[in-house]
Copies of this chain bind each other. A is one copy, B any other.
């Protein structure tokens, strides 16, 4: 089991962090998706192709590397379809037809994935997807559909015929969703839907982003506690604040350990993946919201203002916590896996 970053992984982290700090500072995050940032993310850093196998033009890296990147995009609250595209790339590695992966690796295609099951008539799919992540920004949607051959994974061009998209205003101001209605939208069949493995990978990837969000939130309030004064003392010198920050740090240490473990399991120990993935969502999703919540509250009144960034973290943390379903499903899955 490998829980510490390699030299290469640390360099990857530094590169992504460096890029995002100039290309997508927090002050830009609240303005929403900037396709230019996304293009350069593809061009300079080749990030969307990170987990795409080399034969399809990607870097052939593993979840361990993707986790490092998602931690940074999470910390930056990067707007746009990066997580959705990473989700889709992870799913595509699990289906026979991998052609789309090349487009993702080249940075040509932003993609998204949705778990709602549609109907498929051989050439086109129909159905309603009430909340598709980054549905307005993505070019391609990967979605399971029922047809003559059972449940298959299909790919739909979102700019194509038969597709209606309505942007949804979301709690998370930095990343949107869309209502997508498919009415006989042409769809390519990518192969039979795998019985398992896709959702577990999304759980791990999301946990990595959550780790980044909580780390950035904790960093922000720690920094503030060192400069904000009340009653003649820095607020970080009060045990009321200090002890809460220490507890938040404890959550962060454990969350990072779990994310590294889950990424390792994805790459190296598939038998451990289901437990690790459920654990990652059950622990990290909750810890991320709790840290984001307390980071906001400890800012005092200024943290309650629209102008301050605290609520962006708080809202992303809450939106992420419920993104893959009500959190109890991860706990129920653990109960099942532990054969309790």
Give residues in A with beta carbon < 8 Å to B.
238-240, 242-243
Main secondary structure of the interface of A (DSSP, over half): helix
Q: Can you give 7 contacting A-B residue pairs, CB < 8 Å?
A: A238-B239, A239-B239, A239-B240, A239-B243, A240-B240, A240-B242, A240-B243
Q: How far is the CA of A240 from the CA of B242 in the complex (A)?
A: 9
User: Which B residue's beta carbon lies closest to that of A241?
Assistant: B239
A247 to chain B, nearest CB (A): 11
Distance A242 CA – B238 CA, assembled complex (angstroms): 11
User: A240 vs B241: C-alpha distance in the bound complex, in angstroms?
Assistant: 9
Chain B neighbourhood of A242, CB < 8 A:
240
* A39 CB, nearest partner CB in chain B, Å: 49
A246, closest chain B residue (CB): B240
A246–chain B nearest beta-carbon distance, Å? 10
Residues of B within 8 A of A240 (CB): 239-240, 242-243
CB-CB nearest in chain B for A243: B240
| Closest Cβ–Cβ distance, residue A249 to chain B (whole Å) | 15
Distance of A243 Cα from B247 Cα, bound (Å) = 15
User: What is the CA–CA distance of A242 and B242 in the complex, to the nearest angstrom?
Assistant: 14
The 4 closest A-B pairs by CB, nearest first: A239-B240, A239-B239, A240-B243, A238-B239
User: In the complex, A6 Cα to B240 Cα: how many Å?
Assistant: 38
* Closest residue on chain B to residue A240 by CB atoms: B239
The closest CB in chain B to the CB of A238 belongs to B239
Q: How far is the CA of A238 from the CA of B243 in the complex (A)?
A: 11
Q: What's the Cα separation between A207 and B325 when bound, in Å?
A: 39
A153 to chain B, nearest CB (A): 39
Q: What is the CA–CA distance of A239 and B240 in the complex, to the nearest angstrom? A: 5
- Kindly report which residue of chain B lies nearest to residue A244, judged by CB atoms: B243
Q: List B contacts of A238 (CB < 8 A).
A: 239
Determine which residue in A238, A239, A243 has the highest number of CB atoms from chain B within 10 A of its CB, and name it. Answer: A239
**Assembled-state Cα–Cα distance A242/B240 (Å):** 9
For the complex, give the distance between the alpha carbons of A240 and B245 in Å. 12
In the bound assembly, the distance between CA atoms of A240 and B238 in angstroms comes to: 8
In the complex, what's the smallest C-beta–C-beta distance from A21 to chain B, in angstroms? 35
Taking the nearest CB of chain B, how far is it from the CB of A230, in angstroms?
12
How far is it, in angstroms, between the C-alpha of A240 and the C-alpha of B244 when the chains are bound?
Answer: 9
A237's nearest neighbour on chain B, judged by CB, is B239
Inter-chain CA distance A242–B241, complex, in Å, is: 12
Q: Please give, as numbers and ranges, the residues of chain B lying within 8 Å of A239 by CB-CB distance.
A: 238-240, 243
What's the minimum C-beta distance from A294 to chain B, rounded to whole angstroms? 13
CA distance A238 to B242 in the complex (A): 11
Q: How far is the CB of A298 from chain B (nearest CB, A)?
A: 13
Q: In whole angstroms, what is the CA distance A243 to B243 when docked?
A: 11
- CA distance in complex: A239, B238 (Å): 7
Contacts of A243 in B (CB 8 A): 239-240
CA distance A120 to B239 in the complex (A): 62
Bound CA span A238–B238, Å: 8
Report the Cα distance A238→B239, complex, angstroms: 7
Q: Give bound CA distance, A51 to B171, whole Å.
A: 57
